[in-house]
A = this chain, B = another copy of it.
Amino acid sequence: VKTTDIGEFGLIERLAALLPKGAPPELVAGIGDDTAVWRVGERCLLATTDTMVEDEHFDELAEWPDVGWKILAVNLSDIAAMGGTPLFGLVTIGVRPKMRVEALDALYTGLAECAERYGVAIVGGDVVRARQVSVTVALLGEARMAGRRPLVLRRGGAKVGDAIAVTGTLGDSAGGLRQMQQGEAPDKRLRRRHYRPEPRLAEGQAAVRAGLRCAIDVSDGLLQDLGHVCEQSGVGAVVRWEDVPVSKELLAAYPRKAAEMALTGGEDYELVLVGRRAVLSRLPVTIIGETVEGSGVRVLDLDGAEVEFASPGWDALRL
């Protein structure tokens, strides 16, 4: 069996099945949510990790400070998707033999900027030599508590009849990347949305305070990420194509591709929030659909006809 055959999510499921059985009492949420949730005394920690590898997640079009900012930001986005507050991180860098230190300085400058902006302490890490540059962050955060109960946004927290909403606009990151790859001068805002994503920490925390209990961040593509929510909640979802928020910059750059980029592009690091329509209506989000009986995500156009896509989003292992 090849990794390309089973893909990222098939592999994770397969490897997780090899781990020791039986969850310790401290474990509230493990593999398969945006972060793990682990009790320490009266508090609950959140833990997540994400890696960026040269030529896979970024290439020579990227500036080193942007790579540093982004790897911390995407980890922060996982904390945001749980409605938590970040605490501290560990950073591992893979360094090419005889690489120029100035490039690593630049990477760290961007990472430090993001750490300062969101109040994260970098407390340790590792340095290894490798043929590709890579940077891994393991990030710890904390959940809001109600007594001994953590108040977090889980992927499995959706119920049939919930509304589905997103923060911000979708597709900008994919649009910015496409412009650069095609050698066009990218729109500044689209470029920034790709390289300097802003984790929705305040929005996730506000969602928890408002009483919401279900979210995911848009990392791989809305349809794929919302699919995880459906799977883990045991519901289906209907998304109305024309309600998905798209920026005027993306529409100007890709008038005919904008909707597809918004639904499948990924790397927007916006939050998908699922819950009661009355609650979502009071938050600065856009309602794009609702959960239904069944399974899977369907996208409907203005006439109510289903729109199909070649791929729901990104898979790290398929070609």
Contact = CB atoms under 8 A, between A and B. Distances in A.
A83 B232 CA distance: 39
B48 A124 contact: yes
A305 interface: no
Interface stretch (A34-42, A148-156, A189-197, A266-274): A34-42
B2 A108 contact: no
A146 interface: no
Contacts of A53: 94, 128-130
Interface stretch (A135-143, A167-175, A180-188, A296-304): A135-143
Contacts of A131: 131-132
A278 interface: no
Interface stretch (A109-117, A201-209, A210-218, A237-245): A109-117
Interface stretch (A5-13, A249-257, A282-290): A5-13
Contact of A123 (B38, B56, B109, B132): B38
B38 A41 contact: no
Give the bracket for the number of chain A residues in contact with chain B. Answer: 35 or more
A97 B319 contact: yes
A273 to B, nearest CB: 22
A95 B7 CA distance: 11
Interface stretch (A25-33, A157-165, A222-230): A25-33
Contact of A40 (B40, B101, B108): B40
A50 B93 CA distance: 10
A134 interface: yes
A47 to B, nearest CB: 6
A23 B121 contact: yes
A138 B90 contact: yes
A308 interface: no
6 contacts: A43-B43, A47-B88, A56-B129, A94-B134, A95-B317, A127-B317
Given A31-B122, A45-B140, A47-B88, 8 more contacts: A2-B101, A8-B127, A18-B112, A19-B122, A30-B121, A47-B123, A97-B319, A127-B316
Interface of A: 1-6, 8, 11-12, 14-15, 18-20, 23-24, 26-27, 30-31, 33, 35-36, 38, 40-43, 45, 47-53, 56-57, 87-88, 90, 92-102, 104-105, 108-109, 112, 115-116, 121-132, 134, 136, 138, 140, 142, 316-317, 319
Sort A-B residue pairs by CB-CB distance and give the 8 closest, nearest first.
A138-B138, A36-B123, A20-B116, A1-B101, A49-B90, A18-B108, A36-B124, A30-B123
